[in-house]
Each structure stands twice: as C-alpha cells, then as structure tokens.
Amino acid sequence: MADQRSAKKTPLRSCVGCGQAKDKKDLIRVIRTPEGNFEIDRTGRKNGRGAYICDDVECLKKAGKSKGLDRSFRMSVPKEVYEALEKEILIEQAK
C-alpha cells in the first residue's frame, strides 16, 4: 500500500499541434503573461496562461495551420511567437 501512495504521477499535457498527450517535460510551454505578452517558458513555472507544443517543427506547422495557439489563448497570436518557437526548436535539435 505504501508503494502505491509514494509513486508520483507524471503530469501529461496535450500538444496544440498534434494533440498527443505527452510528459510535460517533453513539451515547450508558451505563456501569455498577465500584461498580454507572449513568452516561451522552458521552466514551466512562469505565471500566465499556458499552452504546450511538441519540440518538433512539424507540430509547430500544424499548430500554425490549425490555429492551435490562437484557440488556446482565445486570441490571435503574433507571427513573431511562431518564429521564436521555430528558432527555439531548431536550437534544441542542434544540441
């Protein structure tokens, strides 16, 4: 009984591009701050409304085409956010 209580659940989040539920640590979090700015949050701890996307350019393209981030934030997301995400993903893949 003690073994069941001590085992922690890994938090799952859905990608706004492909819709797959993955471990929170494997996804990139995009937040809208209370001031209305958009930021990429690799730590997952910043304040603001968040949406998650896979660390993959194809998922980013799907999210752009289906307006997944726009739906998550209930507003239009500037193209600069998509460009910053693409840059971030390409940097991570190069490592």
pLDDT tens, 13-63?
999 999 999 999 999 999 999 999 999 998 888 999 999 999 999 999 999
In a domain? residue 36: yes
> Looking at the DSSP assignment, which residues form a beta bridge with residue 23?
12
In a domain? residue 81: yes
Total count of domains within the chain:
1
Closest CA to 92 of 57, 68, 48, 51: 57
In a domain? residue 37: yes
pLDDT in the model for residue 4: 59
Q: What is the pTM of this model?
A: 0.85
What lies within 8 Å, CB to CB, of 44 at 6+ separation is 24, 25, 29, 50
